[in-house]
Amino acid sequence: MHPDHGGPLIAEVQMYRGCVRYISGGCDFCVEPLFGKVQFRKPKDILEEMVALSNAGVRNFRLGAQSCVYCYMSKEVGRSETPTPSPNEISKLLKGARDLVNPEVFHVDNANPAVIAEHPTESREVTKAIAEYCTSGNVLAFGLESADPAVAKQNNLNATAEQTLAAIRIVNDIGAKRGPSGLPLVLPGINFVCGLKGESKRTYQLNLDFLRRVVSEGLLLRRINIRQVMPIREEFPGVVSKEDFMRFKRAVREEIDGPLLEKLVPDRTVLKGVYTELREGGRTFGRQVGTYPLLVSIPFPLDIGIKVNVSVTGRGFRSVEAVAYPLDANTATLSMLQAIPGIGRKRAMAIVRARPFSDLEDLWELFEEPKALESAQFHLTTLNVDRQQ
């Protein structure tokens, strides 16, 4: 009965309850440590739930509702706040899910960068398993929260900036390869929480400097999430300056997100299976099914509730511009044709007047400029004619 059943519905299946840092109380703002001692779910129970959901028609899954996927079934939980991962246990669970259910989308969620940094050998093995058995476009949400050591100390945060940077390097080294969906296999995301105890104007500068280091090293982040703390467990002072907070957010979106997105999805990146969700003002908006999907803006109307492959033509703030890929030169509308880079309205009208085309060479004769021809050859095909590679 769920409205997204048969479409972009994702079922989240819990791996365990509680935080491995429950002994020290964990991060001061987080409720997860309040569950007390960590309770792992048996792999058999997790897999049985996934099979039951699959039998009910669910095709997309996320293993989540846990504080760190790398800590699943670690024998050191309760003795260490950065327990050594158990790669074999995690690998068997992920492989079992893939073999038994074969999901269309299979993602995970949170990861503690301190655990990855302190146990690089085991963490590399876990990351390899995630890259192999899950589907591409996967995101590991890293809870850095703040790159300011003073804030980290006063709020008992997960990881230092150096640990987080080390973890980003490890995940990039294994997961940055582009997968079948058009996105990398698995990448880290970064969570910042603002308004914590000890925050100062310098905090925002340290956060921004940290992100600049990531960009300067050529590393990828799939997302950067900036939130204000919610006083659930205790009171917090809140952001020290709304102006500084907004300036930090703006700098991240303008200075950091742009270069990262350009490297993540350069022009002509083909994103497969974009699910169309909204049509507004002659545009169609959609996203790939996933736990942290990119917003895709398509500059012409398409049916809603369908999956379409697209080719990236530009980028906005945390979103991409794209056209359906490939487009059929014999049936594409005028608005579809003129949205292709290098074609424009005048040449799109010429294509409409000259069709139908039975041979690709007849189509290419309409293009004089090499760049426009190259773009057309990449984006266009014709009916009953094999697309040239």
Contact call for residues 115 and 68 (beta carbons, < 8 A):
yes
Between the alpha carbon of residue 171 and those of residues 60, 115, 243, 301, the distances in Å are 23, 13, 34, 37
Between the alpha carbon of residue 332 and those of residues 230, 300, 381, the distances in Å are 49, 11, 10
Between the alpha carbon of residue 387 and those of residues 42, 187, 363, 376, the distances in Å are 49, 32, 12, 11
In the chain the first and final C-alpha atoms are separated, in Å, by 43
H-only helix segments in the chain: 43-55, 87-101, 113-118, 120-133, 149-154, 161-175, 201-216, 242-251, 257-264, 334-338, 344-354, 360-364, 370-379
Please compute, for residue 196, the number of CA atoms within 13 A of its CA located in the half-sphere on the CB side.
25
Query: In the sheet that 110-111 helps form, which strands lie side by side, from edge to edge?
Result: 110-111, 138-145, 186-194, 223-228
Domain ranges of the chain: 11-264, 270-381
- Digitized pLDDT (tens) for each residue of the chain, 389 residues in all: 888 888 899 999 999 999 999 999 999 998 888 888 999 999 999 999 999 999 999 999 999 888 999 999 999 999 999 999 999 999 999 999 999 999 999 999 999 999 999 999 999 999 999 999 999 999 999 999 999 999 999 999 999 999 999 999 999 999 999 999 999 999 999 999 999 999 999 999 999 999 999 999 999 999 999 999 988 777 888 888 899 999 999 999 999 999 999 999 999 999 999 999 999 989 999 999 998 899 999 999 999 999 999 999 999 888 999 999 999 999 999 999 999 999 999 999 999 999 999 888 999 999 989 999 999 999 998 765 444 43
Between the alpha carbon of residue 110 and those of residues 167, 188, 257, 369, the distances in Å are 13, 9, 21, 48
User: Mapped to the 3 state alphabet, what secondary structure does 211-231 carry?
Assistant: HHHHHHCCCCCCEEEEEECCC
What count of residues does the chain have?
389
* Closest C-alpha to 330, from 301, 300, 351, 345: 351
Contact call for residues 247 and 255 (beta carbons, < 8 A):
no
Report the alpha-carbon distance of residue 291 to residue 310 in Å, rounded: 19
Q: Is it true that domain 11-264 has CATH number 3.80.30.20?
A: yes
